[in-house]
Amino acid sequence: MGHHHNGVPLPFIFSLVGLFLLALHVNMSSAAERSTHIVHMDKSLMPKSYASHQHWYSSIVDSFKAQIPTSSDGHKISPSLLYTYDNAFHGFSAVLSAEELETLKNSAGFVSAYSDKSITLDTTHTTQFLSLNPSTGLWPASNYGEDIIIGVIDTGVWPESKSFRDDGMTKKLPARWKGTCEVGQEFNSSLCNFKLIGARYFNKGVMAANPGVTLSMNSARDSQGHGTHTSSTAAGNYVDDASYFGYAKGTARGVAPRSRLAMYKVSWDEGRYASDVLAGMDQAIADGVDVISISSGFDSVPLYEDPVAIASFAAMEKGVVVSTSAGNEGPSLGTLHNGIPWVLTVAAGTVDRSFGGTLTLGNGLTITGFTLFPTNAIVENFPLVYNKTFSACNSTELLSSAPDAIIICDDSWPIRSQLFSIIQSQVVGAIFISNDPEILELGYVASPSVVVNPKDAPPVIKYAKKSAKPTVSIKFQQTLIGTKPAPAAAFYTSRGPSPSYPSVLKPDIMAPGSLVLASWAPKVPAGQIGFNVHLPSDYNLISGTSMSCPHASGVAALLKGAHPEWSAAAIRSALMTTANPLDNTNNPIRDDGDNFNFASPLAMGAGQIDPNRALEPGLIYDATPQDYVNLLCSTNFTRKQILAITRSHAYDCSNPSCDLNYPSFITLYNDHHKTKTKVQKFQRTVTNVGEGAARYKAAVIAPKGSKVTVSPEILIFGETYEKQSFTVTIKYKAKKKGTVSSGALVWIEQNGKYTVRSPIVVSPLV
């Protein structure tokens, strides 16, 4: 039985996300030199001729474009609008020259402008990427998650990390808290405080499985780094000047920076056992946590033998939200774990940030490539060599004859084995040519090397071949923000359909998972130079659904703070129906594991988590414990197997139904029935959680080759908390070659205030 942490293993892997920020690095004559400015506008002075503030702002920037002479050379950056703002403030950001800014200052409605700073980056900047901000939305509405308790089931915690300081926390624990700070090896109870309010460890399973074993760290202290990283992601306090060896520098913070944390250590260097996981989750429920975050899962086990499924059923009955990771076994279909109908199952996506090194060639050409080499190595005017004899970089024998220089490695061979060969043959450093998503999304670069996109490589190769004495300088520790497109579904994120219950669409949601900066155990190496030099760090950049899960756990904690009366199903529904299926270019999210095609809900669920929209979802798809029992009763599980999950005879099986009131739809076909048209009906009930009366109309995007009808197409609610029901009918044919098609049902409130979106998938049974 495989029990996996959902952090990706990191042997010699580069990390370079997105290859799109070169526009920032342009040399121009000062007359037309343009840079980004943030402009505040007085929206009340918008001329009546404009339909919206977006229209007004874009026409201002367009007017500057019209003034550029067409004869000017093609290398200038033209004026462009980056963002329009209508919440935190009124205005926009745009790339403008000094003269254009002066003209703008004289126009009606101008308030102020300042140049864009390289911001001090946030938790890895992911809270900003998720639009969490102090002035509007979920952070202020929940008071940053104040007094919500998140229980993290993991490898322990490094209590001295600054992320677990309790500055700014209220000095009175919630009355419902029954937990404790358990004493153990190198861990005394004074290490807990008003942030880290509990720490326990569960080792009976691992000890029983390894008689006579001495545990390397017999306490709640983290000896792997994983638990420290996940818990600080969910609810770490503010920490200034956090970075990974100079990359991603800024103020670290968790998603719910005022929530309390409790650590339940169930994973050991010596192994991970179901019994310990169950004990930890059980204790978390008894201790009074509000949210359980578990970034690991069990592969290929039925629900009635899955400790996460069993323990989370009890949690759900008590209103505790259980947030779990989907796993890192992608991109094949049907690989996900924690595909449990009563939990939140979280996929991983990329972030709009990448890490780079700037190459400057001897001829003055500058190119930004990507690297995470963990130190500021001095590479100045080194010889640059492109030689077909060893440019495949796959033979240590050939590379050993290479001169003392930076070698160009072409993209004829997998980059990980190239990197291995470069280190093994002690080449000074390399320029790799690749856009392999595996390289873009994982960590560890153990050689002073940079990866460049194949699109940017020709001038580098040409210079190295043609110049008499080619040289290169490399500047490391660059952090680039705003890379596009982002997010994308991570190549490694495990895919649905859920092996343990395929008829509920999983995963549910996607959250940031690739190269997330969070706290780390300083005794566990975070970086490496060559094979033998291991470097410690208080913060680490790592990737996996282990990283996305605590983001969702933090958001669930914030929602719980803002809506204490909501059930676990209501919170999950709010997260799913408000998720964003589009990336930062306003196109459907792409899938790094599927040739950059548009991602299916089997990879990303309903889309990228959108915390501020989840605060006011309009409608929710709720579910009671009995609804889940009805679902279990409809399976071929025996009475005892069902009892293993529900723990109680009080539930009855008189109303079995496989049609759970879920905010998504999946219909599964068998490849054998190719010609038959099949029909599946779904019954759903939604609860109005908006203010007062409301009217919603259905809009359907049918999966390709299917017909979807909704009845009724209009839902009318007289008051808050009223419920209305509808049916969805999907007519479909089995596809050739087992293809997956997807669409959506969107309920749109008549004034446009709410859009309640549910993904629809037609998939082969994997």
Q: Nearest CA to 590 among 434, 485, 493?
A: 485
Helix (DSSP H) and strand (DSSP E) numbers for the chain = 18, 37
Contact 121, 250 (CB under 8 A): yes
The gap between the terminal CA atoms of the chain, to the nearest Å, is 19
Phi and psi at 294, nearest 5°, equal -130, 110
* Rounded Cα distance, 555 and 548, in Å: 11
* Rounded Cα distance, 572 and 137, in Å: 18
Ordered alpha helix ranges (H), 236-335? 274-287, 307-317
* Rounded Cα distance, 709 and 541, in Å: 46
The DSSP element (H or E) to which 576 belongs, if any, is helix 568-577
DSSP output for 531-556: TTEEE--SEEEE-SHHHHHHHHHHHH
**Residues paired with residue 701 on neighbouring β-strands, in sequence order:** 744
- Give the catalytic positions in this structure: 154, 226, 546
Region class of 705: left (phi > 0), else alpha (psi between -120 and 50), else beta? left
Strands 149-154 vs 260-265: parallel, antiparallel or unpaired: parallel
Contact 575, 509 (CB under 8 A): yes
- Tell me whether residue 659 is exposed, middle or buried, using C-beta atoms within 10 angstroms of its C-beta: 0 to 12, 13 to 18, 19 or more: middle
Q: Nearest CA to 495 among 306, 348, 340?
A: 348
Contact 610, 131 (CB under 8 A): yes
Q: Nearest CA to 272 among 336, 187, 203, 182?
A: 203
The DSSP element (H or E) to which 633 belongs, if any, is helix 625-633
- Residue with token string 């999304």: 441
Report how far Cα 130 is from the mean position of its chain's Cα atoms. Answer: 9
- Tell me whether residue 709 is exposed, middle or buried, using C-beta atoms within 10 angstroms of its C-beta: 0 to 12, 13 to 18, 19 or more: middle
Contact 347, 603 (CB under 8 A): yes
Strands 260-265 vs 196-201: parallel, antiparallel or unpaired: parallel
Q: Is the dihedral of CA 187, 217, 548, 314 positive or negative?
A: negative
- Residue with token string 């959680």: 689
Q: Is the dihedral of CA 180, 185, 187, 188 positive or negative?
A: positive
191 DSSP assignment? G
* Rounded Cα distance, 546 and 146, in Å: 24
Residue 533: which residues within 8 A CB-CB, separation 6 or more?
none
DSSP reduced 3-state for 356? strand
Prior bond of 712 cis (ω within 30°): yes
Record the tokens describing residue 650, joined without a space.
Answer: 């009080």
Amino acid identity at 557: A
- Tell me whether residue 620 is exposed, middle or buried, using C-beta atoms within 10 angstroms of its C-beta: 0 to 12, 13 to 18, 19 or more: buried
Contact 85, 148 (CB under 8 A): no
Residue 203: which residues within 8 A CB-CB, separation 6 or more?
215, 218, 268, 276
How many Cβ atoms are within 10 Å of 88's Cβ, its own excluded?
A: 12
